Structure 1
Amino acid sequence: MRNFSVDGAGFGLRRSMMGENLETGAVDFLEVAPENWIGVGGRYGRWFREYTERFPFLLHGLSLSIGAPEPLDMELVGAIKKFIQQHNIRGYSEHLSYCSDHGHLYDLLPIPFTQEAVMYVSERIRMVQDALGERIAMENVSYYAAPGQEMSELAFLTAVLQEADCDLLLDVNNIYVNSINHRYDPLEFLSALPTERIRYAHIAGHYDEAEDLKVDTHGAAVIDPVWELLERAYEIHGVVPTLLERDFNIPPIATLLEEVGRIKTIQASQQVEENYALNRR
């Protein structure tokens, strides 16, 4: 039995939701980007403190830029560590990508899938883990080009997880998007991931640019093939805490909670199947 720092289903908390009456029990946990909240005071700071006292929280970073050529921003890492302590945060994750090169690039860019990059990125992940005093989770990201590719996305991801000895934030929508854009079998990819390293999962909507080009936007409802892939993820790896992401075109809270409720329904169904299988042994 794996121990997770949070349980059930949650969603990403955004400032535009301030003032919403989110009842305890409606969601099991919440997630924010630390860069959007570190140092925030006033009514937003009070509102955030109220929520961190009522709900378990996770952090999902935006600007660590783990694959960038420039030195790590250890000042940011220190601020994140303090923020984790201040708000009793249950865990920190980041993107397996980079977003800076002597200045912020405002996009998540792909790290070359090479052995040299595996070693470089893994060393930087270990530095962050040592500074924080805890393991972090790296997210499998969507990407639209693979410069200098010497290995597959799957081989690169699993090599980094092993070499850095870190956890995985499993983004189900990114697997779906990448499987269409780069023409691979999403179930083969999903099945090959190391179960023991999965800390939690993300699910989100995307934009259909064309039949063979999907863009990860977090700006739409989750589509049925992605829901089905989440079900298969649970079948393969067991039920893991799962978070709904929505970054723009944010609907009313009630609509978001319907999608969170669908996550809970899928989780409960899979747990029933797991319990039935255990009882038959």
Structure 2
Amino acid sequence: MRVSGQNRRFLFLQGPHGPFFNRLGRLLRAAGAEVWRVGFNRGDRAFWTSGENYIPYRGAVADWPAAFATLIEAKGITDIVLYGDTRPIHASAVQAAKAAGLTVHVFEEGYLRPYWVTYERGGSNGHSRLMTQTVAEMQTALARLDMDLPDAPARWGDMRQHMFWGALYHWFVLSGFWDYRNFKPHRALTVRQEFWLYCKRLVLMPLHKAERAVATFRIKHGGFPYHLVLLQLEHDASFQMHSPFKTMSEFLTVVMEGFARGAAPHHHIVFKAHPLEDGRVPVAHEIKRLAKLH
């Protein structure tokens, strides 16, 4: 079945680092849709090859809601596409788009990475419609699904590629700062700090791989029962916006206290860091500190 994009006008906002949104936009145009892209910094522009469909936004964040309302009316937009729905420029756009009756397409980091991204209409993470459904309701919906589901790949992808696109994106943002002076990143760190963290992570990957191999060997051959704790990034939107915790230390304290009270003395606890943990939060140091307290 051929999908038609006729009479649909898509407005892309910020996407993932790299060429994914550009490729998606080309596919939508090939299907007959009209596609526009708003860029908020030089990194956004660098990964969007269609200059005639690119709209730079150089205004202040406070003026963005009014500019967005004017833009969707002037272009007759029917759909907006964005990556992550909690950063300020996206949150206000989603709210206005829903009020105007537009379809909101939200992409987010994949639950299994780096091969996948997630896609939902209306919102993701804590804003997902899944949050209002029970597991039984999800299973019923899946049973009625008539689409062919792809098989899991033999290999999940190369995290180095993810880090490369991240470093390159932030380099473009830095080099083009004067063109977009009002741009403010949605995270606490500056663009320069983000860039150097990506570079540091790339350089130290062999060391971290060796550390993981040693730790995995000790766990597999230790002969002890253990409890596994999967860690999220402290600066991730799902942690900051959709959890009761404000810092990783708060979460680790709850886990450590519960383990100390309830686990058998011969049990161990294993913390699995997020694959993109870059050291901006001293997680390993905090785990050691809390372990000594308990």
TM-score w.r.t. length of structure 1: 0.26
Larger radius of gyration: 2
Q: Quick one: higher RCO (CA 8 Å, sep 6+), 1 or 2?
A: 1
Structure with the higher fraction of residues in helix conformation: 2
